[in-house]
């Protein structure tokens, strides 16, 4: 029979299992039982709507040992696998659990310590077995046998098996000095493992167990009661699911193990939400907030939703209607008496009870998050870094419908003390005269800190939220306000916090420089809506602000999409009258008004760059700067950039003369060049 090779990605996992020096090998049994339980769930679920899946025998898992042959068998009468199934499921890591594990291994590069924490799946049987045989049959197809001795691949052939389901036989490895594989042939050991790892499995796990029984009416030679040893079929698990047990009897480690195993995560959850409600709506829920973003969270294949059980019976996986969109990161299950067993996904959507269920679950999740926010701030911040984006998206996508629900769960980085704050914290410490909530947007906190608009706000003691996610400003504009406090961008024209004196000074300067400003505006026609004197700048010569409507950040975000590529903010160029560059402009305007066009353009372009926009012609901009440097250093009459160079207005050579132009800050270049006139 031809051997087939395992897929490469499976091979590594397999190697790991075969050569494992991991001492906790016993988890293989948990993995096989959990697969059997899944297969039983699937059959049960199919049988709800299709009679051919119905089983005449009760669904169960059988464990058997053969001490002579040194085999351990785990059999189920579940859904089974056909030839393709065996090939696909056991020849590749196509399934989530093991793929996650492999990812974790690749990330961590350490072999052994995480095996036990993870749903490593079927291949873990090679930790104890030198040969594994899987015989399986579905309701539609004849039975097949899959055989593998590990590294050298596997083979599949037809076999005799009448009943639907899967039987997995492990040929245990010979004992070594360190490891007693024989233990897995002992019923006491198997009982212990099943109680430890698989107690809550909903189907009976049965095994023939040796029992000594008193023999009626017979005495031993010494006159004591005579006993005989018989074999008896026993159910080894209590079959009470974890979520049906009382919270106070459950250890944290039990929750963690349950979560890791059931939801294929190798890290314990950040939060466990376990509760039971009785009343008009009765249900039990066991929910988890993962500690890390699932690796496929942002991929199409990520399936949000909870498992739905009815009276302890599994109904469906990924019932996404049980969760609000913003909580799609929550994993877990809900067990309710109120849903009929053969409910379909379509009915589920419309079901009134389900809607109530969802509302109730939503409330609980929110409550748990608020609790975490108030009592475990660090943990909450980690949570928010992981999943906060989704909350903001949800506010935006719902047009602010869930604003009330979510606004107090949001965190933003604040200038206050460089920490993440809630909107409540922000508004609780507004300055006496402050009404609005100020924010500023940019690519990163560092970039925002450098923005020209920010210095004065901070100097005046205003707290500013630094927004770095694309969705932030969209979410805030949909929310409009928090309490009675509106969100205002300090990169927008309508926010200026000038006092009377500043306002007066600004107006006077504007008046005195009316024609200069008009000239600049004319030069920048089509690029900016206005050029005006600013009261918001301290160390920078210019900045851009947006007029009402689309903000600077929104333009950037929208321009990334095909529909939004032409969206433009209405920009206003503001000039700092206290800056040397303004003096230079005034001088240039007096001596050579025709130079203003060129300088305006340079200032506009640097303002664009500082705001994180790209400029239309970076080469021309760079050439201009070079020209100015050369002119400032007195090294000539400009550089020949070829025919594309703009018709330069030649500034006069300037003193002081330097041998080489220093690579000075932009501001200085401009100032120097302009002063030279």
| Cβ–Cβ < 8 Å for 161, 135 | yes
Q: Which does 117 bind (CB under 5 to 8 A by kind): Mg ion, ligand ADP, none?
A: none
Nearer to ligand ADP, 35 or 415 (CB): 35
CA distance 241 to 284: 11
Q: How far is the CB of 87 from ligand ADP (least distance, A)?
A: 11
Q: Which does 472 bind (CB under 5 to 8 A by kind): ligand ADP, Mg ion, none?
A: none
Q: How far is the CB of 340 from ligand ADP (least distance, A)?
A: 27
Interface region with Mg ion, contact rule CB under 5 A, candidates 116-124, 217-225, 426-434, 641-649: 116-124
Q: How far is the CB of 237 from Mg ion (least distance, A)?
A: 17
Nearer to ligand ADP, 94 or 619 (CB): 94
Task: Indicate the DSSP class of residue 113.
Answer: T
Q: How far is the CB of 38 from ligand ADP (least distance, A)?
A: 6
| E strand or H helix that includes residue 49 | helix 27-49
Q: Tell me if 35 contacts Mg ion by CB under 5 A.
A: yes
CA distance 442 to 108: 33
Selected from 78, 80, 116, 121, the binder of Mg ion by CB under 5 A is 121
CA distance 153 to 170: 16
Task: Please name the residue ranges forming H helices in 418-561.
Answer: 423-428, 445-449, 454-459, 470-479, 500-512, 514-523, 552-559
Q: Which does 12 bind (CB under 5 to 8 A by kind): ligand ADP, Mg ion, none?
A: none
Q: Which does 415 bind (CB under 5 to 8 A by kind): ligand ADP, Mg ion, none?
A: none
243-282 b/e with 16+ CB inside 10 Å = b?
bbbeeeebeeeebbbbbbbbbbbbebbbbbbbbeeeeeee
CA distance 323 to 579: 55
Chain residue whose CB lies nearest ligand ADP: 121
Task: Please name the residue ranges forming H helices in 230-351.
Answer: 252-262, 345-350
Nearer to ligand ADP, 116 or 121 (CB): 121
Q: How far is the CB of 14 from Mg ion (least distance, A)?
A: 15
Nearer to Mg ion, 35 or 489 (CB): 35
CA distance 426 to 437: 8
Q: How far is the CB of 34 from Mg ion (least distance, A)?
A: 5
Query: What Rg value do the Cα atoms of the chain yield, rounded?
Result: 36
Q: Which does 81 bind (CB under 5 to 8 A by kind): Mg ion, ligand ADP, none?
A: ligand ADP
Tally Cβ neighbours within 10 Å of residue 513. Answer: 20
Nearer to ligand ADP, 97 or 452 (CB): 97
Interface region with Mg ion, contact rule CB under 5 A, candidates 28-36, 130-138, 152-160, 230-238: 28-36
Of residues 460, 373, 378, 453, the one with CA closest to residue 419:
378
| Cβ–Cβ < 8 Å for 437, 487 | yes
Q: Which does 261 bind (CB under 5 to 8 A by kind): ligand ADP, Mg ion, none?
A: none
- φ, ψ of residue 11 in degrees (nearest 5): -60, -40
Q: Which does 586 bind (CB under 5 to 8 A by kind): Mg ion, ligand ADP, none?
A: none
Q: Tell me if 78 contacts Mg ion by CB under 5 A.
A: no
Q: Which does 150 bind (CB under 5 to 8 A by kind): Mg ion, ligand ADP, none?
A: none
Q: How far is the CB of 119 from ligand ADP (least distance, A)?
A: 5
Q: Tell me if 237 contacts Mg ion by CB under 5 A.
A: no
Q: How far is the CB of 82 from ligand ADP (least distance, A)?
A: 10
Task: Indicate the DSSP class of residue 6.
Answer: P
| E strand or H helix that includes residue 599 | helix 596-610
Q: Which does 98 bind (CB under 5 to 8 A by kind): ligand ADP, Mg ion, none?
A: ligand ADP
Nearer to ligand ADP, 258 or 604 (CB): 258
Interface region with Mg ion, contact rule CB under 5 A, candidates 119-127, 309-317, 349-357, 592-600: 119-127
- 556 burial level (CB within 10 Å; 0-12, 13-18, 19+): buried
CA distance 391 to 87: 41
Q: Which residues bind ligand ADP (CB under 6 A)?
A: 31, 35-36, 39, 76, 78-81, 89-90, 95-98, 119, 121-122, 166, 264
CA distance 4 to 16: 19
Q: How far is the CB of 135 from ligand ADP (least distance, A)?
A: 10
Q: How far is the CB of 95 from Mg ion (least distance, A)?
A: 7
For residue 359, what are the contacts with CB-CB under 8 A and spacing of at least 6? none
- Per CB under 5 A, residues contacting Mg ion are 35, 121
């Amino acid at each position: 029979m031809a051997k087939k090779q395992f897929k490469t990605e499976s091979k590594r996992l397999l190697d790991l299992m075969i050569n494992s020096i991991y001492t906790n090998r016993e988890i293989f049994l948990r993995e096989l039982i959990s697969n059997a339980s899944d297969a039983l769930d699937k059959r049960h679920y199919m049988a709800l709507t299709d009679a051919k899946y119905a089983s005449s025998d009760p669904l169960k898992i059988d464990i058997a040992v053969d001490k002579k042959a040194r085999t351990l068998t785990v059999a189920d009468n579940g859904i089974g696998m056909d030839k393709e199934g065996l090939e696909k499921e056991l020849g590749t890591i196509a399934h989530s659990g093991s793929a996650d594990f492999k990812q974790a291994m690749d990330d961590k590069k350490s072999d052994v310590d995480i095996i036990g924490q993870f749903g490593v799946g079927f291949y873990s049987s090679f930790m104890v077995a030198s040969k594994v045989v899987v015989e399986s049959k579905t309701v539609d197809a004849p039975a097949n046998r899959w055989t593998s001795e590990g590294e050298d691949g596997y083979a599949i052939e037809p076999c005799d098996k009448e009943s639907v389901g899967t039987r997995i036989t492990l040929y245990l490895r010979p004992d070594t000095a360190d490891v007693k594989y024989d233990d897995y042939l002992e019923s006491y050991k198997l009982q212990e493992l099943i109680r430890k790892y698989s107690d809550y499995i909903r189907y009976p796990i049965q095994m023939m167990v040796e029992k000594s029984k008193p023999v009626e009416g017979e005495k031993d030679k010494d006159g004591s009661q005579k006993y005989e040893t018989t074999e008896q079929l026993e159910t080894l698990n209590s079959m009470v699911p974890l979520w049906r047990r009382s919270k106070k009897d459950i250890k944290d480690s039990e929750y963690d193990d349950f979560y890791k195993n059931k939801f294929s995560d190798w890290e314990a959850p950040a939060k466990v939400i376990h509760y039971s409600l009785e009343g008009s709506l009765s249900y039990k829920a066991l929910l988890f907030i993962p500690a890390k973003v699932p690796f496929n969270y942002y991929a199409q294949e990520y399936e949000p939703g909870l498992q739905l059980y009815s009276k302890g019976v599994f109904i469906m996986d990924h019932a996404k209607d049980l969760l609000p969109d913003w909580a799609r990161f929550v994993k877990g299950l809900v067990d309710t008496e109120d849903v009929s067993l053969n409910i379909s996904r379509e009915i589920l959507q419309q079901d009134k009870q389900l809607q109530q269920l969802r509302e109730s679950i939503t409330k609980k999740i929110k409550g748990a998050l608020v609790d975490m926010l108030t009592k475990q701030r660090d943990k909450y911040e980690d949570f928010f870094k992981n999943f906060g984006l989704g909350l903001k998206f949800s506010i935006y996508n719902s047009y602010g419908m869930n604003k009330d629900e979510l606004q107090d769960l949001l965190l933003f980085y604040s200038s206050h003390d460089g920490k993440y704050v809630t909107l409540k914290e922000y508004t609780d410490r507004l300055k006496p005269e402050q009404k609005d909530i100020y924010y500023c947007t940019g690519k990163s906190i560092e970039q925002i800190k450098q923005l020209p608009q920010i210095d004065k706000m901070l100097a005046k003691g205003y707290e500013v939220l630094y927004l770095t996610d694309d969705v932030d400003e969209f979410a805030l504009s949909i929310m409009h306000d928090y309490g009675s406090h509106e969100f205002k961008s300090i990169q927008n024209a309508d926010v200026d916090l000038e006092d009377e004196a500043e306002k007066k000074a600004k107006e006077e300067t504007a008046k005195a420089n009316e024609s200069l400003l008009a000239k600049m505006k004319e030069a920048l026609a089509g690029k900016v809506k206005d050029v005006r004197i600013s009261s918001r700048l301290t160390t920078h010569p210019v900045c851009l602000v947006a007029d009402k409507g689309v903000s600077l950040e929104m333009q950037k975000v929208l321009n990334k999409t095909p529909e939004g590529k032409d969206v433009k903010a209405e920009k206003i160029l503001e000039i700092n009258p206290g800056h040397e560059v303004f003096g230079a402009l005034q001088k240039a305007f007096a001596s050579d008004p025709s130079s203003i066009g060129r300088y305006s353009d340079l200032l506009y372009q640097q303002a664009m760059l500082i705001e994180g926009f790209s400029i239309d012609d970076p080469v021309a901009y760079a050439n201009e700067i070079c020209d100015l440097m050369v002119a400032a250093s007195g090294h000539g009459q400009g550089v020949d950039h070829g025919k594309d160079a703009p018709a330069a207005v030649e500034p006069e050579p300037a003193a002081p003369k330097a041998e080489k132009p220093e690579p000075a800050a932009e501001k200085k270049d401009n100032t120097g060049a302009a002063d030279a006139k």
